[in-house]
Every structure is written in C-alpha cells, then in structure tokens.
Chain A
Amino acid sequence: MGRGAFAIETRGLEKQFGFFPVLRGINLAVGQGEFLTIFGPNGAGKSTLLSILATFIKPGGGEVFVSGFDVSKEKQRIRKLIGFISHNTMLYENLTAWENLEFIGAFYDVPDFKNRCSDILERVELYGKKDALVSTLSFGTRQRLAIARTLLHDPQILFLDEPYSGLDYGGAAILTSILGSMKADKTVVMTTHNVYEGLSLCDNVAILDQGEVVYASAQKPAREEFQDIYMSCVRSGDGQ
C-alpha cells in the first residue's frame, strides 16, 4: 500500500525537452479511488505528464508523488503499484498472448499466477487466442491483450494514455466495462480526445494546454457544457 493523502499529487511540475518547455508548473491532486480525465489538444503535454507519473521519464522540476512515493527517488515502489495502458500496445510480436502475460507478470509477485492469467484473458475475451502470436492479432485484439497484461498484477493506480485510440466498438466496450468495474477501488488518470468516453467514466476533469492546467473541476460537467469550456480554454489551434 502507498502512503499520503492523495493517490497522485504534483506541485509545480515542470519538464522541458532541450529548450522547449513541455510542462509548466502543473499542480494536480487526485484522491484515492478517483478517476481523472485529462483532455487537451495534441502537444499539450498530456503524454509527458503521464510518462512522468508512470516513472518513464524524470520530472524537470517541482515535486511529484504517486501513492505518497516520490517519483524521483522511489521509482521501484511506484512501479509495483501502477499499470500503464497506451495507444501503443508495447507487446512482443513474436511471443504468444500467453507468453506476453507470462513474461511481464513474472516480474510481479502475482499469487496463483496461471489462474490469474486465465481469468484476465477471459475478462478481455481473449482466452481462445492465448496461443496465438501477437503478430497475427488485429490492433483491437492486441489492445485488449495490452489491457489484460496491465491488469495482471492488479495495480492500485492506472495511467491510460489515449486508450481508446484504434479500438473498435467491441474493444472500446470491453475497456469501458473494465474501467467501470474498477472505479470503486482504483485510482485512474486517463488522457483522451474522446469526450464521450472521457466524461462518462470520470469523477474529475482537467484540460491541459501548452503545458499548463487551464481548467480543472472536481465535478463532471455536462457534455455540451464541457465542449464550450474546452473551446474557451484551449488556445492552441488544433483543439478538437
């Protein structure tokens, strides 16, 4: 278990690549069991923010805590608690679905590992394809497998970077159903362009633009209202 009042907290988070600032003083707090959806145009810094929270990359400045652990100093502790789903499946193409789960799952202490793998594959409706090479699977099926792999160690905190990207209707429905079933006991931070899916699942909403949080609300606005808010907040030219 983690520590601290918030599941995720950033104070004055900054990051720049070369001379280009990507995140400028991000302050966010997500409580235990809350679902935050971050919207924003392309290049707003959403993926960079998730990459820092998931310990992929170092923060450039400020403080970042995940489950009370400092992302700069306690990465290994954080990695045991989190799961990450991206639009990029990050799967090994020349391994089967089962082998992909087996390989990554072996790095976590998952009790009753084989049954857990079977259960999770059934949950994403992929048990029948457990022996299929990933290279033979469609994108939507791979994305479902990536979801299964992420949930294998039952992470407390989930980071979802455009998870609906490329998913067909069935895949999107499975993901929505899984996320909906986890809402009660997991903390989720999701970035998406999909206003419908993003708003239907979340408790809190934030809009990121040019590396800054330009809107944050602890209450979920109505869809029509949110579109107006989004258009008024986002200064970049490529808003959705």
Chain B
Amino acid sequence: MKLINLVVLPIIVPLFIGTVLLLFRKSLLAQRALGLFGAAATLVVSLFLLAKVAEDGIQVVTLGSWAAPYGISLVSDMLSILLVATASLLTLLVLWYSVYSLGEKRELSFFYPATLFMLTGINGAFTTGDIFNLFVFFEVFLMASYVLIALGGERIQLRESMKYIIVNVVAAALFVITIGYLYSITGTLNMADLAVKLGDIGSMGVISTVAIMFLVVFGIKAGIFPLYFWLPGSYYAPPLPVLALFGALLTKVGIYSITRVYTLIFTTDVAFTHDMLMMLAIATILFGSIGALAYMDVKKIIIYNIVIAVGVILFGVAAFNEVAVTGSVLYLIHDMLVKALLFLMIGVLIFITGKTNLREMGGLIRHYPVLGWTYLVAVFALAGIPPLSGFAGKILILQGGLEGGFVWQSIVVALSTMVVLLSAIRIFIYAFWGAEKSFNSPPKAKYVNRMIPVVILFVITMGYGVFIEFLMPLFQATGTQLMDSSLYIDAVLGGEK
C-alpha cells in the first residue's frame, strides 16, 4: 500500500462502508457486522496513520494534486490523528454496545450507516487543512447527527431535533459568512496559507473581529458559555448510545476547531483573543458547575459535566503555552473516553432500573457490584483523581495556567473538580448505596452483554491514566506542533510532493 494517501483513509473507509450498508438495509446481521467492521477498519487505519505521524511527522495530502493553497489539503498532525483515533475507537465501542441495547427497529432505521457517516464527518473535520472544507465536514456530521437524534421518532426526539437543527443551521450560516469575511481579507482558504498571510499582516482590529466570530461559530458547537443552552435539551432526547456518541465526540469537534484556529491562524493578537477565550472558558466552568448540581436526573448530570470539561480544556488553550496546550489535549482525549464510558454506564443503570431520576434508585451495589465499583472509579477518573485518566491532563493545564500567570483562574479550575466529583458521585451514593428500591432486574445475560464493551472501555480509560508515560511522547509532540505553527505551515506549503 502506498502510505502517502493514508491520511484519506480514516475519512473514506467509514464513508465507503456506510454506503455499502445502505444496500443491506433489511438485514440486521449485515447491518451489525458491517457497521462494527466499518468502525474497526477505521480504527485500524487511524492507528496506522498514528504510527506514521509519530514516526515521520506531519502528513499532508493535497487532493487532486492541486498544490496548496489552491487545492484542498488534508493534514494529519499529532492533534488531528490522536482525535481521529479516539473518535474511531469510541464509535466502535458504542456501536458494539448498541448491538445489545438499541432495539432492532432502531438498528434497521439506518443507525449504522448514519453513525459511520457521522464518523466520516468528524474524522474529516479533525483532518482537513482547509477552512471551507472544514465547514463542509461540519455539514456532513451535523446532517448525520440530525438523523441520529430523531432516530426512532419519539415525540421528545422530534421536538428537540427541530431545535437542534435550527440552531445549527443558524450557526452554519454564520460560519459561511465568517469564512467569507476571512477570504475577503486574505484571498485564501488553506489554513496554513491563512496562518502565513495573517502573520504578515500582524495585529489588526478586523482580524481580531473575525477571530471572535469564529469563536462564536465554534463556540456554539463546542458548548461554551453562553452558547451551550441548546445542548442539554438536545442531547437528552436521543437513545443512550447516540447520546454517548454526541457527548463524547460532537462538542469535541468544536473544541478542536477553536484549538486549531487559535493556535495556527489567529495568533497575532493573543493578548486580546486568548484573553477573551480565557474569560469564556472560566464562565463556562462556572455555569456548567451551577447546572451540574441542579439536577437529579442521571443523564442531565453527566450532560452538564460535558460543559464543565469544555471550559477546562479551553482554559488550557487560552493559557497558550506549551505545557497548558499539551495538558488540554491530554485532557480532551481523557474527556472523550471517560464521557463515553460514563454515558454507557448510565445507560446500563437506566436499563436496570428503568428510571432516570436518582431519587427513585437505590441499593444496587449488592446486585451489581461490577457496575457500581467501576462507576465509582470512573467518577474519580472524571474528577482527575490521580493516577486515573484525568489527572495528567489536569495537572499540566493547571501548571501551564500558573506559568502563564492565571492564578485565580487556575484555582477556579482546580475547584471545579469538586463540583464534578460531587455531582457524579451523587449517582453512586444514591443509586448504589442508598436504600434499596424496586427495579426491573432484567435477565443477567442482557446485563452482562452490555457490560462487556463498558468494561473494555473502562480498562482502556484507566490505562490511559496509569500508563500515560507510554503515550507522553505523542502528547509532547502535539504540544510542540501546536505551539510552533511553522511545523504545520512548512508541512503544507513547504514540502510539496
């Protein structure tokens, strides 16, 4: 295989297999088998690509061989490929879980192809080096997410999907306008080229303005304060595997995009743009913290925890030094893993109890010790208790924040952990320890089936914490690449192949 085009594969493989799946839309077996195969194949090619990027540095493919900046470049740097690999892994595990939990009717309503198309969009968004192409990939995964959110067509789903679609359509319009303005200034769409041209101009009011517009556009997707209002309602509606995918992957595309443009393109007026990002990140943490303790509904609790994490990650990006940015990426991947894990666990919990309100649960630890204890450990990981998965990222974010002189902000970040811990551990205390309440007590086999992918994800997540040293070179490379944009620029514009 010619490895030079490897970059395209994590995008094309799910697209291709998703398309093939449409041919077998009535066969449950084919849907499941090919769906899982598609995600697994995507994972395999991304791991290949990861190895390649780790070894040879940033990989670039210019589509149709139209040299940058005229054609569309796909760029796999460490940040991109780490996210692609994580997204593919999580899609695989969530699909596995769905096989046992989604229900045949929903599975046959194009669930597997839509998920693979969403993965296409997400991987593409992580990979593309062209700002307009980024917009197109946004459309791809959004359109797939529209299908997924309405999957099954319950009343609440239809109502929430309508809001979700309209908010996203407005955001998309703003996105195109913003790209148009940026193009009008620079006459280019290639991100590396943009970085060069904006670097030539230097600090200028209109560029800071466009930078802030991008922050608004991506902020709606990422769920920063105050633009996350759509998120809790919309994420609440779909079935749990879909929620797990959304929670683990979708907001992260927004975070990725902010990280990308704020480390590569808009770095000429850091004092303003990144301070603005810092303020919004802190506000996001605060308001997410307020929301997380406001609910007794297990799904809502975890959903608000998404918001807090968004703030923490962007705090690191805003601090804008190598340690903090590295920490952000570490934490970003941790958050993807652990959020997917928690959502799946909550799914099992809801499956067992048949309820979503904590007050109606209790005493499960005697009957479901594995779920209970793994959940508790996952909560500690979520809170960044060492040596679990959130720890290394959080500590670097804090350290970078302090080095950047953001003292009180760092303390806010450290304390937000308490809210995260309290909100999530409440689920454990009520549902597992509390006085025993009646529950469904479904057949053991069904419970065990669901627990297999959950436990696998659990082990991976924990390994990500304890054995982080083995991955550390990758993250250090990520930090270096992000803070030294010339590496990216040279790879795209310098080394024409």
Q: Do A and B bind each other?
A: no
Interface residues of B (CB under 8 A from A): none
